[in-house]
Structure 1
């Protein structure tokens, strides 16, 4: 089994790699022998701060910008594994929705995945490979205020399934992971979380409280747990799995 988690000799691309699930996956692949990582994120200083042992190419940029894929990624033509993880969060009720906010979220969370899939499928056609995309449990459960985020993630799920059908004849597997609540920095920019942190006295207490309330298992996942599950989807252990969606949500969508 250990050999199936051996990524030596392989190159992996990760978008949204500077923090959270993306950074945790970079560390996981590094620990499992990946030879080269291509890391993409808008936050270049945080990207540069990642301490990894393997060869690393760091690219600062917006995944929804086609120029990133045409120019910045032009020389990235040898990929074995890809994680399309870049995303942003926003929440607003439909009745109060602003089209600019809707389009910004769709651009990063959906267009960025489309552009990443297009690039990965092109470069993998000659020898095959594995792709994982980060969806969300929000794709399967309706909650007030999540229209834009949930719609984008639901679209990502179906986009991954179509990509799996199109990639299969070339030996390319495409799967999605749909986390529920995960302890990542994405919460830190939300007003309600800031209020909860202040009320409960610490960030850790706020995360724990949300997990207890929202999930049957009573906890949120860590980024490292999700990274290990992504590692499985990218590994030879999942060689017969494509077009699947792994829900890792603590029972949230039950």
Structure 2
């Protein structure tokens, strides 16, 4: 493997599992010099250079975190949730937006402050739910749509400082976040998680399958790396054709 990130300092949020953990492993395998892995759950990866247990919505967390020398950041922490607008409790709306959007803003702000004067690259994990409307995902989809636009604004603000900001919009990815979705959890209890993923993917995506976290991590790695040096303000849709 090429050492795309040799000696570089990389921040990853939502790093305890799923896409975040896969990104951390991807960067480690490509020479990352310092990994700062943040999650509200403990990060047990044996390659974690600096594992920080904390809530990305906590402004004090970011004020106290040492991000000196930061080269790359992956803003990935998020939660799922579902419910029709007419039935959705405001508390649930705020819970989903506070993690997926407020937490992303605080992470982005901290990363951009750390990169001023030296440049760097940032990838925000959005979602195809922020592009394609579906019943029941008003809070989650709205937060992810906002992240896509936030990446564009950040790209314009960051460009004079040599900071690139892009987003990635996966559709279905086989991660633990699905366990919080009642429809999936119920079906997985009936037929098993693998079969539930396969069943949903066959219905939802023209390519007939969901992504593995490692596949999304590789695409994030490309957006972070110098191989995409002229790419900023873009959203890479990686959805198996779901949004067609």
From 122, 126, 137, give the equivalent of 2:117: 126
Residue correspondence of structure 1 range 65-214 to structure 2 within 5 A: 65-71=58-64, 73=65, 75-200=66-191, 202-214=192-204
User: Deviation of residue 198 (structure 1)?
Assistant: 3.1
Distance 1:189 1:155 in 2: 22
Query: Does 2:29 correspond to 1:31?
Result: yes
Please tell me whether residue 12 in structure 1 is matched to residue 10 in structure 2. Answer: yes
Q: Which residue of 2 aligns with 1:244?
A: 234
Contact between 2:67 and 2:111, CA under 8 Å: does it hold in 1? no
Distance 1:84 1:192 in 2: 27
Long gaps (5+) in structure 1: none
Q: CA deviation at 1:101?
A: 0.8
- 2:205 matched residue in structure 1: 215
For 1:51 and 1:143, the matched residues in 2 are separated by 39
Segment drifting more, 181-190 vs 164-173: 181-190
Give the TM-score normalised by the residue count of structure 1. 0.94
Mapped to 1, the partners of 2:181 and 2:137 lie a distance apart of: 13
Q: Which runs of 5+ in 2 are unaligned?
A: none
**Structure 2 residue matching 1:104: 3-state secondary structure:** helix
* Cα distance in 2 for residues equivalent to 1:97 and 1:6: 44
Whether 1:57 and 2:50 are equivalent positions in the alignment is yes
**1:194: how far off?**
2.4
Tell me the distance in 1 between the aligned counterparts of 2:138 and 2:99.
15
Distance 1:194 1:152 in 2: 22
Asked whether the equivalents of residues 81 and 180 of structure 2 are also in contact (C-alpha less than 8 Å), the reply is no
TM-score normalised to the size of structure 2?
A: 0.97
Q: What CA RMSD, in Å, does the superposition of the two structures yield over aligned residues?
A: 1.1
List 4+ stretches of structure 1 deviating above 6 A: none
Aligned residues: 244
Give the distance between the partners of 2:56 and 2:114, measured in 1 at CA.
17
Shift of the alpha carbon at 1:76? 1.9
Deviations 1:3-35 (A, max 9, x none): 5x5211100000000000000000000011111
